[in-house]
Chain A
């Protein structure tokens, strides 16, 4: 079936460094959502991207949707210890009845 691939699986950074996680699909996505899961917690919705080339910002977080709607990225500027957790992208395909397909997630650890 159709998949959403997410890299890297793990990222260890020093506090203050930047962080980026990428999601890719071989098929055009209708939309993509991003979630954050803190250690021991449950996923929490961050944002949704729908339009080709869309860029959205939330404080230090920048989300992008590719022009072809096949890739997306989440960039965190100047990471803080509160950013620790696993970030998931989740995309929908036009022929999949609206189901969200989650990427494998990127686990971010931040060293103070």
Chain B
């Protein structure tokens, strides 16, 4: 089955530690995205990548970093510089081209709790 996988589903970390969230897709999509979702709020864009080895900051990139070394993978690192990292993190992908006209396919999400 084609789709997007995120692991783990739940993640607990101590304050001050960096943590990397995994996102893999086998849909052959060029574009990938990371969003953060907080209770009662919409999705906020952290980073996005339209092509391998290239990525751009979204609206709330501070305290986060990404890499796009392979088409299938777009890991997100939540660094200790992120002041409020506890949230639900969603990875998504879409076909390339004029990407805002393409539907986004979301993974199941990772719920990160920083203690």
Contact = CB atoms under 8 A, between A and B. Distances in A.
15 contacts: A42-B107, A43-B104, A44-B106, A45-B105, A90-B42, A98-B101, A99-B48, A99-B58, A99-B59, A100-B104, A102-B42, A102-B44, A103-B42, A104-B42, A105-B41
Interface residues of A, number: 26
Contacts of A99: 45, 48, 58-59, 100
Per DSSP, are chain B's interface residues mostly helix, strand or loop, or mixed? mixed
Given A43-B90, A99-B45, A1 B40 contact: no
Interface residues of B, number: 24
Interface of B: 35, 40-45, 48, 56, 58-59, 90, 92, 98-101, 103-109
A88 B43 contact: yes
Contacts of A90: 42-43
